[in-house]
Structure 1
């Protein structure tokens, strides 16, 4: 956040110095400075609004993530249990066949 403030401060100071050194009438320089300050304030407000929207989006994403992960985990556990239920008889049958072949 301080990086953006530094950029905005630098733009403001640079504009002010440039305008003060510019070869214009005082009233034109004042108008230009006022316009630049308004522009900086507007861009700062837009940046703050964008950051607010970003924060809201991150919170919404976390909420969605928190809601979906338990469901997904539960579904995966159920699939593993189903697989084990189906595989156990087959594994037992294969083991019996191996045992039978080892005896012969």
Structure 2
């Protein structure tokens, strides 16, 4: 069964190829001239795509290398800035909390609060 399929495929391909050569609307050299420019353009486009792909890969590798060296330094700097901010903000927050406590005490001891109870 498989041998018959392969034999039929080969015979059909041969008959189709011979028929195409015999009944072609123009000479092979004319057909080659017609297809020459589109084939060249396609080859040039493929080469451009390959070059662009390589450029993208190269730039990606450079970006990854820059990120490996720059991000740890940036992260360290950011952590230091955050610690400095927390150090400066802590006394201010404590003062605000003290003022809130005093205000609550004054409100509790206020004459207006005593009359409403």
Per the TM superposition, whether the score is higher than 0.5 is yes
- Runs of 4+ in structure 1 deviating by more than 6 angstroms, as ranges, are none
Task: Look up the match of 2:115.
Answer: none
Q: Return the match for 1:89 from 91, 108, 113.
A: 91
Structure 1: give runs of 5+ residues left out of the alignment.
Answer: 1-19
TM-score by length of 2: 0.55
What is the distance in 1 between the residues matched to 2:34 and 2:78?
63
Report the equivalent of 1:47: 49
Picking from 70, 73, 76, the partner of 1:71 is 73
Q: How many residues align?
A: 85
Structure 2 unmatched ranges of 5 or more: 1-20, 107-117
Between Structure 1 and Structure 2, whose CA radius of gyration is higher? 2
Q: Distance in 2 between matches of 1:67 and 1:91?
A: 37
**CA drift at 1:92:** 2.2
